[in-house]
């Protein structure tokens, strides 16, 4: 039984209100967010739903406002007792500032995974101090105060860190106190609470606070429905008629170099383009994109270091570079390289030339501390803006992780990267992008999109704290692949990543037997609760039960070797043919990856392009020549990473969608309207 922490309205009235709200919610959301409940085999647990209702009643805060704020803070997840990097706890992400500093890993924390670049490994003394018009290393000052909330509800601070009900009540009390400080009544109309919601964001600048409040009210209008990390089924009734009373917007001042959505406050902190010695230079390349080279990819990274260290590193000429950094605590964006220029971020010069790199402050083994909702939302806004500006498709062959970047040569495969890792929520991220990952064909389609339910899908991983030790159970975007349809069968091997023949493992950094949400593959077989896909030149099996699927039917195009070819080479970059190189530009040697695409196998493609190469061998005041060939290539989803095959080597098949595709997930709120 929950402890009663403050006087309440009569229980009969409260129960009557609760019944009306929950019933109305279910009725309104069925057509809006249809889909199966995550609570299979029994009634959903709605204790948290009741906690929201009780707290809203007791502190006279509109239920939709309280739930909308909590959704923006944590998506209603409790993460019991586990703080974020700033010391935020519970569904309301109430911040205990006395605890926050203790949660920040050392800048010298060991880097996980294969061959991290110098920019990732650098500590705080690696480069000069960061300077910027917006002081990007500063943290927001007025985050929702857990200890003040505890005083307001008369409970120990420790209870608000571990008890979701107390945490929700503390959030309600803070909202009510803020409304009173603004000289406003505790109105039952959600529209009257916009300024209090903006204050709750804790951000110091008005543009970011306004964006936060507008996001909350977008959730209120659209509604939301999901099952939390604690198995709580929570529903927010859609209220499309709510239009808050907002103050007149003030135009945000920003540096002229910044390329950023108008509704975000972004800073500029320049990465240097300077000559070092003996023709060496750093730390990016001048270009004239998209005029000289199309921008077609956006690469999602995590920093594996705290942001102040990264902001110093990006200013150091001999280190790597990237276009944008996003802070965990509040999603603040700092730009370092103009998007027309080429940053050194992916581990592949070919991908760098065609991409924009975005670093997210965080450690892939500590997702709850670092992968904040504020960061997801700022990142999604930025990516939507860039994708629209440059015509980049919003799919997983164009918006992908550092761990999906193909190795440019066979010898570089073991050194490629593994961030942002299996705990990055790709499904939620694409919901925020306005391009939800969903079924586009029936369940028996010849193509599938990997799509586990993030909150409930918790495969075993090891190595988060110590090598070989199990990680704490956590929702994941990844499914694990076996050689046979059996949990005890060996894992699929990656001969490129482990050329010595070692087995794939369950280590959190081992990508050898893993597929991720949104990646699309051709079906190689089915048997009972198992589905096989073509993966790295062989059949790879994963558990995919009909009552709790980890993949859904998809439409699309697949490539397969032309008749008469027993196998064809697979490449990590699409280079021009020999005749395309002008005099003075050395021809680049082809280096097929240590895999083969065999006759009868099929792989999904979402783009076709000509080969290209840019010679980045010397310092220059002007962009280098882009060598473009006539040879065409298809980009394919070959394993966990992307790859390329010559168009002349393959035939293309179209897998069409039946008339009845499955609906989008019920676990997603719709993205905020721009």
Task: For residue 255, name the pLDDT band (cuts at 50, 70, 90).
Answer: confident
pLDDT at 244 over 70: yes
Mean pLDDT of all residues in 170-182: 97
* Residue 177 confidence (pLDDT): 97
Q: Where is average pLDDT lowest: 176-180, 203-207, 247-251, 287-291?
A: 247-251
- The answer to whether 613 and 277 are in contact (CB under 8 A) is no
Q: Could you give the residue range(s) of every CATH 3.40.80.10 domain in the chain?
A: 254-424
Residue labelled with tokens 């916009």: 194
Distance CA 134, CA 205 (A): 10
Domain 11-93+144-236: give its CATH architecture: Orthogonal Bundle (1.10)
Please tell me which residue, 326 or 264, carries the higher pLDDT value.
326
Q: What is the DSSP string of 433-501?
A: TT------S-TT-SEEEE---TTT-----B-SSSTTSBPPP---SEEE-BSSSSTTSPBPP-TTT-TT-
Q: Binning pLDDT at 50, 70 and 90, where does residue 185 land? A: very high
pLDDT average, residue stretch 220-234:
93
Query: Where are the domain boundaries for CATH 1.10.530 in the chain?
Result: 11-93+144-236
Q: How confident is the model at residue 203 (pLDDT cuts 50, 70, 90)?
A: confident
| pLDDT computed for residue 226 by the predictor | 92
Q: Residue 189: how many CB atoms within 10 A of its CB?
A: 12
What is the distance between the alpha carbons of residues 616 and 625, in angstroms, rounded to a whole number?
A: 9
- Give the model's pLDDT for residue 250: 57
The per-residue pLDDT for range 616-671, each reduced to its tens digit, is: 878 888 898 999 999 999 999 999 999 999 999 999 998 765 544 443 443 444 34
Residue 563 has pLDDT above 80, yes or no: yes
Residue-averaged pLDDT of the chain: 86
- 324-369: pLDDT as tens digits: 999 998 899 999 999 999 999 999 999 999 999 999 999 999 999 9
DSSP 373-419: HHHHHHHHHHHHHHHHHHT--SSTTTEEEGGGPPPSSGGGGGG----
Q: Would you state the pLDDT for residue 502?
A: 84
What H or E segment, with its residue span, contains residue 179? helix 164-181
pLDDT score of 142: 73
CB atoms < 10 A from the CB of 583, how many? 4
Average the pLDDT over 370-376 and give the result.
95
- The pLDDT score that the predictor gives to residue 654 is 86
Residue 42: per-residue pLDDT: 53
Query: Which tokens sit at 186?
Result: 């505790």
Mean pLDDT of 40-63: 87
Q: Which of 634, 498, 479 is nearest to 558 (CA)?
A: 634
pLDDT at 140 over 60: no
Task: Please state, for a pLDDT cut of 70, what percent of the chain lies above it.
Answer: 83
Confidence grade of residue 251 (pLDDT, cut at 50, 70, 90)? low
End-to-end CA distance of the chain: 43
CA distance linking residue 285 with residue 273, whole number of Å: 7
Q: What is the pTM of this model?
A: 0.87
CA distance 576 to 581: 8
**Residue 656's pLDDT is what?**
66
Quote the pLDDT of residue 569. 97
Residue bearing the bigger pLDDT, 570 or 21: 570
pLDDT at position 671? 40
User: Within 10 A of 366 (CB to CB), how many other CB atoms are there?
Assistant: 19
Supply the pLDDT for residue 471.
Answer: 96
Return the pLDDT at 141.
53
* pLDDT attached to residue 181: 96
Architecture in CATH of 254-424: 3-Layer(aba) Sandwich (3.40)
pLDDT for 249 equals 58
Residue among 77, 96, 109 nearest 365 (CA): 109
Across 462-475, average pLDDT: 95
Strands (E) located in 31-82: none
Instruction: Return the pLDDT at 281.
Output: 93
Would you say residue 405 has pLDDT above 60? yes
Q: Of 102-111, 402-411, 599-608, 619-628, which gets the smallest average pLDDT?
A: 102-111
With a cut of 60, say whether residue 39 has pLDDT above it: no
541 vs 2: CA distance, rounded Å: 45
Token couple for 467: 């090598």
């Amino acid at each position: 039984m929950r402890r009663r922490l403050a006087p309440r309205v009569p229980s009969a009235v409260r129960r009557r209100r609760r019944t009306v709200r929950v019933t109305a919610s279910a009725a309104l959301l069925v057509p809006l967010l249809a889909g199966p409940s995550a609570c299979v085999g029994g009634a959903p647990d709605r204790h948290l739903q009741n906690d929201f209702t009780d707290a809203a009643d007791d502190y006279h805060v509109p239920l939709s406002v309280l739930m909308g704020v909590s959704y923006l803070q944590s998506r209603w997840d409790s993460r019991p007792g586990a703080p974020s990097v700033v010391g935020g706890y519970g569904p309301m992400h109430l911040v205990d500032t006395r605890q926050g500093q203790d949660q920040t890993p050392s800048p010298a924390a060991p880097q996980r995974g294969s061959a991290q670049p110098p920019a990732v490994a650098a500590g705080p003394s690696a480069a000069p101090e960061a300077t910027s018009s917006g002081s990007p290393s500063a943290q927001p000052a007025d985050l929702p105060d857990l200890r003040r909330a505890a005083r307001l509800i008369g409970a120990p601070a420790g209870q608000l860190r571990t008890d979701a009900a107390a945490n929700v009540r503390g959030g309600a009390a803070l909202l009510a106190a803020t409304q009173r400080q603004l000289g406003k009544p505790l109105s039952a109309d959600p529209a009257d609470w916009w300024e209090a919601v903006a204050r709750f964001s804790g951000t110091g600048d008005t543009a970011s606070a306004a964006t936060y409040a507008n996001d909350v009210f977008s959730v209120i209008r659209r509604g939301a429905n999901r099952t939390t990390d604690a198995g709580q089924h929570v529903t927010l009734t859609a209220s499309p008629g709510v239009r808050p009373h907002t103050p007149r917007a003030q135009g945000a001042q920003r540096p002229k170099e910044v390329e950023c959505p108008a509704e975000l406050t972004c800073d500029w902190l320049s990465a240097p383009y300077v000559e070092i010695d003996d023709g060496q230079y750093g730390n990016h390349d001048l270009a004239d994109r998209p005029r000289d080279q199309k921008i077609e990819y956006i690469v999602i990274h995590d920093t594996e270091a705290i942001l102040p260290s990264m902001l110093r590193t990006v200013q150091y000429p001999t280190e790597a570079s990237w276009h944008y950094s996003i802070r965990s605590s509040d999603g603040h964006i700092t730009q370092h390289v103009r998007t027309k220029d080429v940053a050194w971020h992916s581990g592949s010069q070919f991908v760098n030339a065609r991409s924009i790199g975005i670093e997210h402050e965080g450690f892939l083994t500590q997702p709850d501390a670092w992968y904040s909702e504020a960061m997801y939302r700022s990142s999604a806004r930025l990516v939507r803006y860039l994708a629209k500006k440059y015509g980049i498709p919003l799919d997983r062959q164009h918006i992908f992780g550092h761990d999906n970047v193909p190795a440019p040569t066979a010898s570089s495969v073991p050194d490629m990267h593994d961030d942002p890792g299996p705990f990055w929520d790709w499904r939620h991220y694409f919901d925020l992008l306005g391009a939800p990952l969903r079924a586009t064909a029936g369940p028996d389609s010849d193509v599938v999109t990997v799509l586990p339910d993030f909150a409930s899908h918790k495969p075993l991983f090891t190595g988060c704290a110590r090598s070989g030790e199990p990680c704490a159970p956590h929702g994941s975007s990844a499914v694990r692949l076996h050689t046979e349809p059996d949990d005890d069968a060996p894992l699929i091997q990656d001969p490129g990543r482990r050329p010595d023949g070692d087995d794939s493992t369950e280590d959190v950094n081992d990508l050898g037997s893993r597929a991720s949400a949104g990646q699309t593959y051709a079906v190689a077989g089915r048997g009972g609760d198992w589905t096989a896909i073509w993966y790295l030149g062989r059949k790879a099996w994963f558990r995919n039960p009909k009552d709790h699927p980890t993949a859904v039917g998809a439409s699309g195009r697949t490539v397969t070797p032309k008749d008469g070819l027993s196998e064809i080479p697979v490449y990590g970059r699409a280079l021009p043919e020999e005749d395309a190189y002008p005099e003075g530009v050395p021809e680049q040697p082809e280096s097929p990856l240590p895999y083969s695409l065999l006759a009868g196998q099929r792989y999904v493609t979402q783009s076709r392009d000509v080969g290209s190469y840019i010679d980045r061998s010397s310092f220059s005041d002007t962009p280098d020549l882009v060598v473009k060939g006539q040879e065409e290539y298809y980009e394919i989803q070959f394993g966990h990473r992307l790859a390329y095959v010559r168009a002349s080597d393959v035939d293309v098949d179209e897998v069409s969608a039946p008339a009845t595709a499955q609906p989008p997930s019920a676990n997603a709120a719709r993205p905020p309207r721009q």
